[in-house]
Every structure is written in C-alpha cells, then in structure tokens.
Amino acid sequence: MEACHGHGKEKESQDLPRVLLFKPPPDFHLFGDECFSSNKFKFLKAWESPLPLDQFLKTHAQSVEAILSSGGAPVTAETLRLMPAVRLVMTTSAGLNHIDIAECRRRGITVANTGNVFSEDVADLAVGLLIDLLRNISASDRFVKQWLRPRQAAEGDCYSLGIGSKLGGKRVGIVGLGSIGSLVAKRLDAFGCSISYNSRTKKPSVSYPFYSNVCELAANCDILIICCGLTAETHHMINKQVLSALGKEGVVINIGRGPIIDEQELVRCLVQGEIKGAGLDVFENEPDVPKELLALDNVVLSPHCAIFTWETFKDRQKLVVENLEAFFSNKPLLTKIVDND
C-alpha cells in the first residue's frame, strides 16, 4: 500500500508544471527554499545541475513554459532560444532591464514583474537617503560612534559638526514620475518641497510643472531624484551637461539603476565640488563602488537594497506564487508589464 501511495505522489509531482530558476533568488537565502512553493507547480533549479546552462536547458527545459527570474539572473535572447515552450517570464523585480523584452515580444512571451508591491519601500529609501544626505545622519552617526571623523569638522570645531542643509523649500526634480516617482513626490510635498518632473510624456492629471528634458529640469531644481527605469534612452542620461546644470548647490539621489548616471562624471563632480552631494542605492558595476566615494562625507551609500524589507519580501512572494498559479490555470495574471510612460 505504501509503495502505491509513494508512487502516486511521485506521479503527481511529475505532472506538476515546472518553472525554471537560473539562480537562487535572494528570497531563498532569507526565507529558505519553500518561500515560493505551491502545490500547483514546481521549480527546476538550473544551478543544481553540473551541466553548463545551455546544455542543461537543451536536456531538461524543452517543455518548460515559465521562467522565474530575479535581477541577478538575466533572461537573454540566447537563453530564450534554448527554451521553445516558454510562454511566461516572471521577474521578482520591478525593473526589466535584465530581460530581453524585444525578444519576448517577438515570441509572444508574457513578461510579468511584481508591480507596485514595493514602490513605497523604494520611495521611502529615496527620501531617507535625501534626509540623511542633507542632515548628515550617517556621517554624524559614525562620528558619534567614533568610527570615522567627518572631514568638514576640524578638530574641536563644534560649530560645524553635523550642521546640514534645510530640506523645506527646496526644489525637487523627479526623473520618471511612475509609481515610485509619484510616491516620492507625495512624501516630499509634506516636507515643504516644491516638485517638478521629467518623464517620457507629460502627465495630464498631475499639477507639478513638467520639463521636457532632464537638463532643463536639473537647471531648475536643487535636488534631482532618479526614479526611472534603465533603457537605451536613459543610459547615461545624467551626464556632464545635466550635472553642470544641477550646479554646485545641487544634490542627486539615485534609486533607479546605476547606468542611468555617468558614474565617472558624477564622481569627478563630487570630488571637485561641482555638485554638493549624492545619495546612491545603485552603481554602474555593483558591487564595485568607486573608491573616491568611500572617502566622501557628502555622499550616502546603499548596497542596492531599496526593496529589502521584511514586508516587501512577504508581499512579493505572495504575488509571485499567485501569478504563477494564475498562469498555469489559464487565468489572468495579477501583474503584467505595463508600458510605463
């Protein structure tokens, strides 16, 4: 009887549709392997095989219909070509720059992300980095805890230690007024900042002033906050010209993607005092951070962790499982990619 029972269960499991994972998502480290589990599908874990990826896919993934990707596991055209049955690419991130969207479109593959489940956490980090930067929170904390002495406070100079710059009344320019950018605007509005923005298209329902190019936005604000996605158009969009327009009293906050900013140029401007400071969660070559930044007190650095809160992990696990279950039941997905303006 037991043998039959065991055989039955194995058969059931064999019938479950499979979802390909290239690499373990960050959630696995924190919550264990069961955090995306469901009785409606099972995972095919590419990293557990000794085979190189393309061989693995040719051998084991020919009938796989769904891929679960995270930022560290790009979905390229080459990979997709090795998986003829794929109809869905689900990513745990909001960003899509690690997925060959054009190839997916060409093949009619649905792409789904985790929507706005963590937009608030990202917006909160943008505001946190900004206040930290203007009010020297991290710099003061490490000084008080006697880790590192702030460079601008000379020995015995009690006057300037921790003295920062007022947030209220400052002009904030938001680059990309999507779900994250809008939440940033709502928050900074309450601090008495005036908001303006640049986006691919003007938003008719929004009353904030719109600037059709980033340079003009930068010239008219004190604080530039990067909230857009990384595309061919936005690559190195924040360049020498934009930083120059932002000026000596300007600061930039980046919670988008590192390559949106010409990092070399940014570093040069910071070191030479051509802009006042920066708060950065993302970098061009993570986890490498330009060593010049590590020595500056007018930057706040964060290791690409804007979405790393307990709540976001829980919310997105639920969303991923619900989307995959919906997919395999031929029901509509809860989140698909929306073409953001």
| CA distances (Å), origin 253, targets 35, 99, 123 | 32, 25, 11
Cα gap 19→43, rounded to integer Å: 5
Asked if residue 24 binds another protein (CB under 8 A), the reply is: no
Asked if residue 152 binds another protein (CB under 8 A), the reply is: no
Asked if residue 206 binds another protein (CB under 8 A), the reply is: no
Cα gap 254→234, rounded to integer Å: 13
Spot the catalytic one: 257, 263, 265, 316.
257
Token pair of 145, please?
A: 């805890």
In whole angstroms, how close is the CB of 169 to another protein at the nearest point?
A: 8
Do 256 and 283 contact (CB within 8 A), yes or no? no
Token pair 């070559």: residue: 285
Residues from 30 through 59 that contact another protein (CB under 8 A)? 30
Token pair of 215, please?
A: 């340079």
Do 180 and 204 contact (CB within 8 A), yes or no? no
- Of 1, 2, 3, 29, the one binding another protein (CB under 8 A) is 29
Spot the catalytic one: 216, 286, 322, 325.
286
DSSP code of residue 341: -
Q: Which amino acid is at 142?
A: R
In whole angstroms, how close is the CB of 7 to another protein at the nearest point?
A: 39
Q: Is 257 a catalytic residue?
A: yes
Pairing of strands 299-301, 110-112: unpaired
Radius of gyration of the chain (CA): 23
In whole angstroms, how close is the CB of 11 to another protein at the nearest point?
A: 37
Residues from 170 through 189 that contact another protein (CB under 8 A)? 186-187, 189
- Of 21, 43, 104, 132, the one binding another protein (CB under 8 A) is 132
Q: Is 286 a catalytic residue?
A: yes
Nearer to another protein, 6 or 192 (CB): 192
CB atoms within 10 A of CB 107: 15
Catalytic residue positions? 257, 286, 304
Residue ranges that bind another protein, judged by CB under 8 A: 26, 29-30, 120-121, 123-125, 127-129, 131-132, 134-138, 140-147, 158-159, 161-168, 186-187, 189-192, 286-289, 294, 300-303, 305, 308-313
